Amino acid sequence: MVSKGPVTMFLCLLFGDFTRGASTQQAFRVEPDNITVLEGAVALLQCVVDNPSGVIQWVKDGLLLGPDTNIPGFPRYSMMGDPSKGEWHHLRIVGSRLADDGEYECQAGRSEESPGIVSHMALLSVLVPPKTPAFKEYEANSTVTWVAGMEYKVTCSVEDAKPAAEISFSKGGSPLPDVSHQVHSGSNEKLSSTVAVLRVTPQSLDNGKRLVCAATNEAVSASVVAGFTMNILFPPQPPTIEGYKRPEIKAGETLKLTCISLSGNPLATLQWLKNGNVVSTSWETEDVSGASRSLLTLSIKPEDNGAQLHCEAMNQVSPLPLVASVTLRVVFLPTEVSIVGSSSTPENKQISLSCSTTPSNPPVQLRWWLGWRELTTTEVTVTEAAHGGTVTVSNLTHVARREENGLPLTCEAFSEVMLFTRSTSLPLSVQYPPQKVWIEAPPPDSQFRAGTKVRLTCFASGGNPAPRLVWIKDTKSLKEGTQVASGKIVSKELILTTSPSDNLAIYRCNASNGGKSPALTAQTRLHVQFPPIDVKITTMAKEVRRGQTLTLTCITGSSNPFATLAWFKDAEKLKGVDLGQKPAEFGGLSTSGKVTLVVSSSDNGLRVTCQAYSSILAEAVNTFYKLNILYPPEFSSKQPAVAQGVEHGAVELPLHVSANPPELSCSWSFRGEVLKPEGSPRHHLRAGGSLAIWNLSRADMGQYRARCQNPEGQNETHLHLDVHYAPSIRSLGDPVYVDLGATAELVCIADANPTPAGMFQWTWLGTEERSLEELELEPEASGAVGRLRIRGARQAQAGLYECRVDNGLPPQARGSARLIVRFKPEIEKGMGLGKVAMPGDGSSPVTLQCRAQGVPSVKFSWEKNGAALHPDNPRYTERTWHEGAWHSSTLTIANVSAMHDYATFTCRASNALGTDKLDIQLLSTSPPEPPTGLKVVSVTHNSATLEWIPGFDGGLPQRFRIRYHWPGTPSALYMDVFPAQTPAFTLMGLSPATPYSIGVSAYNTLGESTQGPSITITTAELPLEEPPVVEPEVSQTEAPSWPPALTGGLSALGALLLFSNAALLTCLLRQHQTRAGVQEEAKERRKPSAGNDYSSGEAVNPAAWQTLLDSYSERSAPSGGSSMGTWPGYVPSHEYQPRLPPHPKRAVGETDASTTGHLSMEGLVPGWLRGTPEDLRPGGRYPTPWGR
C-alpha cells in the first residue's frame, strides 16, 4: 500500500495556488463518509465540489485513479452524477469485492482560479458472509451412526468471513452448550476462519434427530447451516413368548408361538432354539411400532415331550442375547400295533405269537381275538421307552384245528382313560394235502402246424395251502404259466407256440403243497408239422476266377413233411439236380440237391439262393451263397471325365474302380509326371484311389491319368480338372480425360474363371446416389473385358466410377477410375450476386465474392470499371481458395468511399478452355427492389397462401407488404407480413367465392419499392354445414323486468364506457407506434448494411450475406436477442396466420367459423391498424400493431 502522507503533501504543493480570489475557489460541498457494504453490492462514495475548475479524481489507498468517468484498469469503478450540479464526482463501485476494502479520498487539482483540495479520508468496509459450515469428522447432510452413552467429538469450521463467523450447535432444534471456539486468519489477511468443537453424548431418544452447525455474522440476516442426521444404536428390550396356554399338548397338533421384542436400534434379530439347536432364524420388523416378531410353527411329535424352546433377541450393541423360554409336555398314543411270529401251522399243532406297541404316554392295554372269540392264554409285560413313554407286550400260545383255517387272529391295544383303540390282524392258516389233479388238452389225434398256439390247462382240488402246480416237458420243468385259485380249486395254464421239438413230446403236470404226501400227476402228447429247420450250401472250390465253372450243393435240416429244392441267382432261376431225402431229428426228413454255373466279373458279390419248399405247409426256407469272383481292376461307367474345383480350396478327383481282391494299388500322373502323395502337402491319396488336391491354383488345371493294379492285373483311365478362381482386375485406366460433349470409354480388364454374363458392374461414387441410366452411360462386356461408354460427356457425369467384377466366387474385384470432364469456367450467377450495397463514408470495408467451376483449374482476376486492379494497391485484398468442385475468389475493399469505390467490379475466371465473367455493382444503400415470382400456394373459402422471391434489399433489412382489394371497394387494403423478411404469408378472413387482386411490395428504412407483380384469385365456395340440432323447448322462469328508465341509463353508461376505452386504446397505440417508428428509423439509418435476406434456393452474394448478418445482429443486440424474440406474441412463420378484418360485405356481427383458433387482433386493435385504405394512410407510413 502506498503511503498517503507524501502523496497528499505533493498534491497540495502541486495544486495550491493562493493568488486566486475567494469567490472562485474550489470547495467541497459534500465529502465522502465511511460506508459498509456487502460483498457483491454497489458502493457509492459521494463527493460534490463547488466551483470545480481543476481535475477531479479519486485516490484509493494512496493510488490515483485518474479523472476519466470510466476509470482505466478498474472496470467496476466509475464516476457519476449531474455535472451541472457538481455531482459527477461520486465514485460508484459495482459488485464490491474484498479487494475494494480500503481508504478513499476525493481530490480536485489546482487550476488558474483555485488551488487543489483534498477531502478527508473515507473507509470502505466490504462485509463477506460466512461460507457453508464444514464438518471435519463427518459429511454434511449424511446419516451418522453413534452408540448411545458414548461421547463423540464434532468439529465444525467456517472459512473466509468478514467479520469472523460465530458458530453454534443445536440438536433437534435445541441449542447445545459446552462449545469451544477458535478464530484464525483466512485465505486473505482481511478474512477470518472460525473452528468450533462440540463434545456430545447421545441417548436413545436422540435417534433420528438432526445435529446442526450454524454460522452467522453481520453480512447475513439468517444463519448459514449444515448438519447431519443422528442414527443412535441401543439394545432392545427382553423378548416375550405368546401362544402356549395349555399345560399339555397332543402329538400331531400344530403349535404356533410368537416371540416379540420391543424397541432397540436396530430392531432386534430373533432366533428360536429347541433343546439348544437353532430351528428358525426368520423374523419380521415393524418400524412404526418399533418391534421385532418371529413366528414359530411346530408340528408336535412324541419326541417333543419335555423339549425346551428358547427365543433369543439381540442387536449389534447387545452385550448378550436376551432369552425367553417354555417347556413342552406332549401326550401321545402308540402309532403301531405289530404281531411277531408265524400264523401258519399243520393241523393239530401249537402256534406261538407276540404282540407289541410303539411307545405311548400314558401306557395302553392288549388283548387277543380269534374271529369273535377272545383268547386268554396270554402273558403281558410293560417297559419304559424313549421320550418318557412306555411299550406294552403280550405273548399268545394256541393249538390250531382244520376248521379254524382262515379265521382272523387279532391283537387289540386300548386305553379306557384316553378312549383309544387300535388293532392288527393275521389270518390263521392250517395246512393239509391236495385231493385230485387233471389236464384239459386238444384230442390226441390233432395235428398242429409249427408256430400255432396251443392251450394246456392243469387243475387240482383240495389242500391247504393251495397245491403248487408244475408243468414238465419230457424231463424238463417249465416256468411258463401263472397259477390261479378259485375257491378250493387251483389251476395253471400253459400256452405253447408249437415248434419242431414239440412233435411227439410228452407234457406232464404235478400238484403238491409241500407236505410229506407224494405229488399227484397227469400228462398228454402233441403232433406238430414244420418246415426245414435250416438250409446249407457247400462247395469244393477254394478260389473262383471269371470264366471258370462252379458247383454248389444244398442240404436241408429236418422237416415234417419233407421239402423240395429250387435254385436262383438274384432273380434268375437256375436248373438244379435232386439228390433225395433221409431221416432227421424230431421225426422229420432231410432233402439234398446241387447246381453248376460258369461265372464272370459281373457275378462278383451276387447271391445264389437255395429254396426248400413244403407244399403241404405252403412255406419255404431259403439260404444263399455269395459269389467271390477274382478279376483285375475294371473302371465303372460312372467314372467322370471332368472334375471342377475352386482356387485356394480343395478338390477330390474321384475314381470309380472295382477289382477282386479289392486291395488296389493306384497311382496318378499329371502332364507326364507321376504324383507322389507321400509327404506332399497338397496331394493326398484317399481310400479307393481318389486323389485329393489341397490349396488349388489355376496351374493345377489339365489332364490327369490314374493307373490301378491288383494281383489279378492292372488298368488305367483319364480325368480333366477345371479350376475356378475369383476375379482380379488386370488393368483399369485412371484417370480418363474427355472434353465436354465428346465420347470416352472406361475399360476394365479382368482375370477370372468362369466369366459369366453380367460379371461386370459399374457404380458412380458421387456424393449423391445416381444410377447409370440417370447418368446416360452405356455398360458393355465381352468375356473378361468390361467397358463403360460415355457419349456426349457432361459435367454431371464427371467423378469417380467403380468397376466391380463378380463371377460368383468371393471376393469381388473392385477398382476405381476417375472421369474428368474438361470445360471452360462457369461463374455462379443469380439475383443478389450482382449487387452489393455499403455506405460510402470511408468507415467500413466490404468483401465481394466470386465462385466458379471449371476443369482444368480456374484462375481469377479482378477489374474495376474495365481496368485491372493493381496487385500492390493496399486498399484491395484478393484471396483465392478451392473447395470440392468450386474455385472461389474474394476481393476485400478497405474503407469504402463513395467517390472512389462506387463502381462496377468484374470478376474473370479463366482456364485453357475459356473465360467467364461476373459484374458486381458496389452501390450506396437504397430502397429495396420489388419482389418477383408472386404465386398462390393454396386457396380456401376464406384464406389464400402466397409465396414470392425477394428482390435486392438495398443494403438494409427489408420487409414485405401485401396489397389486396376486391370488386366494389373504394381502395385497396394493406397487410404487413410478419415475421419480417418472410417470403410467404397466409391472408385470412376472406369471403367465399369472391375474386381478389393481390400484389406484394418491399420496403426498408430508406423507402418502399415500386409495386411488385400482382395476381388475381377467387376464393372457394363456402362448405356445406350440418343442420343445427333443434333442442326441445324447456319452460323457463320469466326473467324479472327492469324499469325502462333504469334500462336506458345502464345502456347509455355502457356505451360511454366502451367509447372511452376505445379512444384511450387508440391514443396509446398511436403514441407507441409513432415513437417506435421514429426510433427504429433513426437507428437503422445510422447502421451500415450491404446485404439482404433471400428465400431458400436463391443465390446470395456472400459479402452481402455477411453484411446482412452483421447488421441484423446489431439491430437485435439492444433487445437482447433476435428480432423474432422482441415481440411477445411471436409464433413460427409456418404457424402464424394473422386474421384480417371482416370483409365489408359481411353483415355486422357475422363471423367465419373456419377462422377460429388462429391468432387474431380483432376486437383488441382498431380496424385502421389492421387494414388501412390508401386514402387514409398518414404520411406514407403504414402503422401496424407492432409499431413498424
Vertex 901 angle, CA 899 and 902, to 5° = 80
pLDDT, tens digit, 9 for 90 and up, residues 307-342: 889 999 998 888 899 999 998 888 888 889 999 988
How far apart (Å, rounded) are the C-alpha atoms in residues 770 and 15?
86
pLDDT at residue 69, rounded to an integer:
86
pLDDT tens string 53-97:
888 899 999 899 888 888 898 999 998 877 666 566 899 999 999
Query: What is the rounded distance in angstroms from the CA atom of residue 850 to the CA atom of residue 834?
Result: 10
pLDDT tens profile 745-756: 999 999 999 999
Q: What is the 3-state secondary structure (H, E, C) of 1028-1041?
A: CCCCCCCCCCCCCC
Q: Read out DSSP for 1062-1129?
A: HHHHHHHHHHHHHHHHHHHHHHHHHS--------TTS---HHHHHHHHHHHHHHHGGGTS-GGGGSTT
Q: Mean pLDDT over residues 737-743, rounded?
A: 89
Whether residue 458 contacts residue 437, with contact meaning beta carbons closer than 8 Å, is answered with: yes
The answer to which of 441-455, 816-830, 1065-1079 has the lowest mean pLDDT is 1065-1079
- Does the structure show a pLDDT above 90 at 211? yes
Cα–Cα distance measured from residue 49 to residue 119, given in angstroms and rounded to the nearest whole number = 10
Confidence at 1060, pLDDT banded by 50, 70, 90: low
Strand locations in 428-488 (E): 429-431, 436-440, 447-449, 453-461, 468-473, 476-478, 483-486
- List, for residues 371-398, the tens digit of each pLDDT value: 888 888 888 888 888 888 889 999 988 8
Q: Work out the burial of residue 882: count CB atoms within 10 Å of its CB; fewer than 13 is exposed, 13-18 middle, 19 or more buried.
A: exposed
pLDDT at 605 over 70: yes
pLDDT of residue 84: 66
Question: Could you give the maximum distance between any two Cα atoms of the chain, in Å?
Answer: 181
d(CA 839, CA 954): 11
CA gap 61, 76 in Å, rounded: 17
402 phi and psi angles, rounded to 5 deg: -60, -35
Which pLDDT belongs to residue 1058? 65
Total number of residues shown for the chain:
1188
| pTM attached to this predicted model | 0.37
Look at the block and give the residue holding cell 386305553: 415
DSSP-assigned beta bridge partners for residue 610: 567, 623
Strands of 828-885, DSSP E = 835-837, 846-855, 859-864, 867-868, 876-883
Cell triple for 539: 462247395
CA distance between the termini of the chain: 58
- 754 φ/ψ angles, rounded to the nearest 5 degrees: -80, 180
The whole-angstrom separation of Cα 976 and Cα 985 is: 10
pLDDT at 122: 94
Which amino acid, 174?
A: S
**pLDDT above 50 for 457:** yes
Neighbours of 954 (CB within 10 A): 26
In this structure, the strands spanning 914-923 and 835-837 are parallel
At 1051, the pLDDT band (50, 70, 90 cuts) reads low
